[in-house]
Structure 1
Amino acid sequence: MKKVTSDRNLWVYLTSFFLYNFARVLPHAVLTVILLDKGMSIGEIAIIQSFFMVAVLLFEFPSGILTDTWSEKKIYLLALALLAVSYCLIMGSHSFVVLCLSWFIYGISSASISSSLETFFLRKYRNNETLIKRFNVRFNNTDLISGLVGGGLGSFIYAYLENALYIISIVLIIVSAALIVLFFRGDERVSVGELTSLKTILAELRSIKSPSLYRSIFLLAVFQIIMQLFFQFWQVLFLDAGINKKQFGLFYVVFQIIALFSNWIFGRVSFKHHQVSLVVLMAALLIGGIYFNQGTGLFVVLICLFLLPFNIYSNQLQLDIQRESPTTAVASVVSFAGTCGSVVSMLFLWIVGLLDHFQTFNVVAIEATLVFLVISLGAYYGSRLRTK
C-alpha cells in the first residue's frame, strides 16, 4: 500500500508540476517581445529581470529551511499562489515599477517552488544516486515537455490574445494547486512526526565538510552566467542575427526538443568525470554562434549544438549537489546553491544593464562566456591540484 501511495503521490506531483510549468512558460517564448511592446528598453528589461534574482537571493535559502522544518506541500501551494499574483500584475500593467514588483513576486514563487515537493521525493531516496538520477530524468522530462508545449503555443496565442495570454496561465495554476490539495496524500514527515527543528538543520549545514559539494555549488553559481545569458537574451541574439520574431515560437519548441534529447542522453550516460569537456565545448559553440551570427544558418546550427552540453552540464551539477547533500537538510542545501546562483545572476543582469550603454550586446555576450570559461576551468583544475 505504501508503494502504491508513493507512486500516486509521484504522478499527482508530476501532473501538477506539468500544469504549473505549462502556465509559467506560456509567455516565455515572447517574454522579451511582451516587455518591448510595453515600452521597455533592453536596459530596463535587464533591470526588471534582475528583481527576480533579488527575490530569489533573499528568499530561496529561507524557503529551503522552512521546507525542511515545516511542509513541502504548503510551500509548493504558496509558490503557486505567488505566481498567479505576479502574472496578474504583468497582465495589467505597463509601468516599469509595477513590472519590477511583479518580477520580484515571481522570484519569491520560484525560490519557494525549487525546494518544495521535489524535496519530498529526494528525501525518500536518501542519497541513492541511481534513484535520484531516475527521479531527475522523470522530473526533467515533465519540465521540458510542459515547457515545449507551453512555450510553443504561447507565441501563437500571444499573436491573437496579447496580454490575455496570462489569463490562461492563471487558470492552469489554479488547477495545478487543486490537484495537490485534493489528491496528494500529505507530507510524509508531518504524518510520521519527523519534522526537523531549525537548530538541527543549521547544525547539519555547519557540519558539511565535503569539498566536492562546495565545488559543485560554486560551479552551479558560475554556470548562471551562461544560463542567464541564454535564457534571458536568446531572443536578442536571434533578432541581431536577422531572425524574424514570428519564428521564436518554433525555435522555443526546437530548444525544448534538444533539451529532451539531452536529458535522454544524460539518463543513459555518466558524465561524472567529463565536466571540463562539457564546459569547453559549451563555451566554444556559444562564442562561435555569436561571432558568426550574420550567417543565419551557421548561427542556428551552432546555438542548437551548444544546447546539448549546456543541458547535460546543468543536469550533472544538480545531480552532484543532490547526491552529496545530507538527507535531513537537502532542501536547505539545494536552496543555498540556488541562492549562490541568484547572486551571480543578479550581478550579471546588472552588469548587462550597465554595459548596454557602452558596448553592443554581442560583445558583452562573448565577454561573459569567456569569464564563465576561465572561472569554471580554474575551479576544476584548482580542486584537482589541492587533492594531489
Structure 2
Amino acid sequence: MTNLLINKNNKSYFSSFFLYNTARVLPHAVLTVILLDKGMTIGEIAIIQSFFMVAGLLFELPSGLLTDSWSEKRMYQLSLVLLAISYLIIMMSYNFYILCFSWFIYGISNAAISGSLEAYFVRRLTNDERKIKAFNIKYNNVNIYSTLLGGGVGSVIYSYFSDNLYVVSLVMIAVSFLIISLGFKDSKTEFSERPTLKDSLKDMKNLKNNNQLMIFIFSLALFQIILQLFFQFWQVMFLDKNFGKEYFGIIYILFQLMAILSNYIFERVNLKNKHLILIVSLSGLLILAICLTNKWLFVATIILFLIPFNLYNNQLIVDIQQQASVKNVSAIMSLAGTIGSVVAMLFLWSMGFLNKFYSFNVITIIIILFFMLLSLLLIASKRWRNV
C-alpha cells in the first residue's frame, strides 16, 4: 500500500470519525436528564444502559474476528447504520422496554466500530510502540475535540428543541457515512493479506501464553467500573451537590478540556510503568470528591481526578495494541471490550439492585475501593510473573 493512499485514508477516516463522534455524543451531556424526562428512575436508567453492555458482551468479540477476516471499512459503515437506528428509536420512544432495545442496538453499533478502522491503521504500525502512541494521541485529539463540540452544542440544542437534537445527530451520521464510503479506499492486495477466521481463532487460543497482554486486557476491563461509574452517573453526582441542569453543558465542556490537557501530558510523559500511581491517584481523588460537601471543592477535585483517569485509560490501550499480534489487532481489542462489557454490565446491574437499599454515595465508595483493590492485585501479579 502506498503512503499516498494511507494518507488519503487517514484524512477520510478522521474526518468521518469526527462527524460520527460529534453525532454520537450530542445527547450525552444531558442523557440522564433525557431519560429522567421520559419518566425513567435512576434504577431503570442503570438497567437500560446495561443493555449496551449486554450487546457488547454478545457481539464485540465476533465483530473483531469478522473485521480481521472481512473488512474494517464495512464494519465501520455497519456501525453508523446501527447507531442511526438506535438514535431514531430513542428519539421516538418513552417506553422502558423499547429504550432497553434501543440501547442494545447502540451496543451492537459500538461493538462493530470497536477495533475497525482504528485497527486498520494500528495494524500497519507493526507493534512499534512510539508510532502506536503517536497514532493514539492523534486519535484522542479528534475524539476529544468532537466530544467537546458535540457535548457543548447538544446541551444547547436540547434546551430549545428537546428530543429533536437526535435529528441533528442523524444528519451528521449520514454525512459521516458518505465521507467514509467515498473517501476511504482499500489497496488491491488488501483482501488477500487477511487471515482467515480459523487462523484468527487459533491465534486467540494462544493468548494465554502472553501473560503481560492478558494482565493489560483485564486491567482495562476492570477500569470499566470507574469509567461507567463516572460517565453514566456524573450528572447524578452533580445534582447531589446542588448543581442545576443548566450547568451540565459547561461541566461537560470542562471534562473535555481536561481530556485535552491529559492527552498533552500523555504525549510528553512516559507512563509505561506508572500504573500503580495512576490507579491510587484516580481512586483516591474520586472518593474524596464524593465525600466533600463544598460544591466548588467537589468540582476542583473532580477536575484533578480526570487527569490520572484519562492517562490510565490511554496507557492501557497503547499497552494492549503494542502487545497484540499485528494480524489480529481487531480481535484482541474486541476481546478486551468483551471482558470489559461483562464487568460494566455487572456493575450497572449491581447499581440498579443496590440503589434500592443504600445511598448512591455509599455504593460508589465501596465500588471504587473494590476497583482499586483488584487493579492493584493485577499489578502485583504482573510484577510477580516478571521476577
TM-score, length-normalised on structure 2?
0.98
Q: Which residue of 2 aligns with 1:341?
A: 340
Q: Which residue of 2 aligns with 1:34?
A: 34
Q: Does 1:171 align with 2:182?
A: no
- 2:89 maps to a residue whose letter is L
Relative to structure 1, the CA distance from residue 291 to residue 189 in structure 2 (aligned partners, 3 Å threshold; closer, same or farther) is farther
Q: CA offset at residue 207 of structure 1? A: 2.2
The correspondence of residues 180-219 of structure 1 with structure 2, limited to 5 A, is 180-186=180-186, 188=187, 191=190, 193-208=192-207, 209-219=209-219
Paired with 1:192 and 1:305, the residues of 2 have a C-alpha distance of 46
- 1:368 maps to a residue whose letter is I
Q: CA offset at residue 195 of structure 1? A: 2.2
Structure 2 spans left out of the alignment, 5+ residues: none
2:40–2:96: 8 Å Cα contact kept in structure 1?
yes
Q: Which residue of 1 aligns with 2:373?
A: 374
Relative to structure 1, the CA distance from residue 76 to residue 368 in structure 2 (aligned partners, 3 Å threshold; closer, same or farther) is same
- 2:326 maps to a residue whose letter is T
Q: CA offset at residue 271 of structure 1? A: 0.3
- 2:368 maps to a residue whose letter is T
- 2:5 maps to a residue whose letter is T
Paired with 1:380 and 1:196, the residues of 2 have a C-alpha distance of 33
Q: Which residue of 2 aligns with 1:118?
A: 118
SS state at 1:61 partner: helix
SS state at 2:194 partner: coil
Q: Which residue of 1 aligns with 2:383?
A: 384
Paired with 1:221 and 1:2, the residues of 2 have a C-alpha distance of 36
Q: CA offset at residue 382 of structure 1? A: 2.6
1:281–1:306: 8 Å Cα contact kept in structure 2?
yes
SS state at 1:127 partner: coil
Q: Which residue of 2 aligns with 1:4?
A: 4
The correspondence of residues 95-244 of structure 1 with structure 2, limited to 5 A, is 95-186=95-186, 188=187, 191=190, 193-208=192-207, 209-244=209-244
Q: Which residue of 1 aligns with 2:353?
A: 354
- 2:314 maps to a residue whose letter is N
SS state at 1:207 partner: helix
- Aligned-residue CA RMSD (Å): 1.0
2:49–2:348: 8 Å Cα contact kept in structure 1?
yes
Relative to structure 1, the CA distance from residue 191 to residue 329 in structure 2 (aligned partners, 3 Å threshold; closer, same or farther) is closer
The correspondence of residues 245-284 of structure 1 with structure 2, limited to 5 A, is 245-284=245-284
Q: Which residue of 2 aligns with 1:305?
A: 304
Moved more, 161-170 or 207-216: 207-216
- 1:160 maps to a residue whose letter is Y
Paired with 2:320 and 2:188, the residues of 1 have a C-alpha distance of 22
Relative to structure 1, the CA distance from residue 98 to residue 183 in structure 2 (aligned partners, 3 Å threshold; closer, same or farther) is same
Q: Deviations over 1:212-234 (max 9, x none)?
A: 10000010111111000000000
- 1:204 maps to a residue whose letter is D
1:148–1:252: 8 Å Cα contact kept in structure 2?
yes
SS state at 1:125 partner: coil
Q: CA offset at residue 288 of structure 1? A: 0.2
1:71–1:190: 8 Å Cα contact kept in structure 2?
no
Q: Which residue of 1 aligns with 2:75?
A: 75
Paired with 1:16 and 1:69, the residues of 2 have a C-alpha distance of 23
Relative to structure 1, the CA distance from residue 189 to residue 95 in structure 2 (aligned partners, 3 Å threshold; closer, same or farther) is farther
Relative to structure 1, the CA distance from residue 339 to residue 190 in structure 2 (aligned partners, 3 Å threshold; closer, same or farther) is farther
- 1:378 maps to a residue whose letter is L
- 2:236 maps to a residue whose letter is V
Q: Deviations over 1:280-317 (max 9, x none)?
A: 0111100000000x200110000010000000000000
2:194–2:327: 8 Å Cα contact kept in structure 1?
no
Moved more, 111-120 or 100-109: 111-120
1:79–1:110: 8 Å Cα contact kept in structure 2?
yes
Paired with 2:356 and 2:62, the residues of 1 have a C-alpha distance of 35
Relative to structure 1, the CA distance from residue 189 to residue 67 in structure 2 (aligned partners, 3 Å threshold; closer, same or farther) is farther
SS state at 2:50 partner: helix
- 2:338 maps to a residue whose letter is T
1:189–1:195: 8 Å Cα contact kept in structure 2?
no
Paired with 1:164 and 1:192, the residues of 2 have a C-alpha distance of 41
1:51–1:100: 8 Å Cα contact kept in structure 2?
yes
2:61–2:338: 8 Å Cα contact kept in structure 1?
yes
Q: CA offset at residue 109 of structure 1? A: 0.2
SS state at 2:124 partner: helix
1:115–1:334: 8 Å Cα contact kept in structure 2?
yes
Paired with 2:200 and 2:45, the residues of 1 have a C-alpha distance of 38
Q: Deviations over 1:59-81 (max 9, x none)?
A: 00000000001000000000000
Paired with 1:132 and 1:383, the residues of 2 have a C-alpha distance of 22
Q: Deviations over 1:351-376 (max 9, x none)?
A: 00000100111111111100011111
- 1:18 maps to a residue whose letter is F
Q: Which residue of 1 aligns with 2:15?
A: 15
Paired with 1:387 and 1:181, the residues of 2 have a C-alpha distance of 46
- 2:301 maps to a residue whose letter is L
TM-score, length-normalised on structure 1?
0.98
- 1:216 maps to a residue whose letter is F
2:127–2:321: 8 Å Cα contact kept in structure 1?
yes
Q: CA offset at residue 192 of structure 1? A: 5.4
Q: Which residue of 2 aligns with 1:49?
A: 49
Paired with 1:312 and 1:214, the residues of 2 have a C-alpha distance of 20
Paired with 1:32 and 1:266, the residues of 2 have a C-alpha distance of 30
- 1:70 maps to a residue whose letter is W
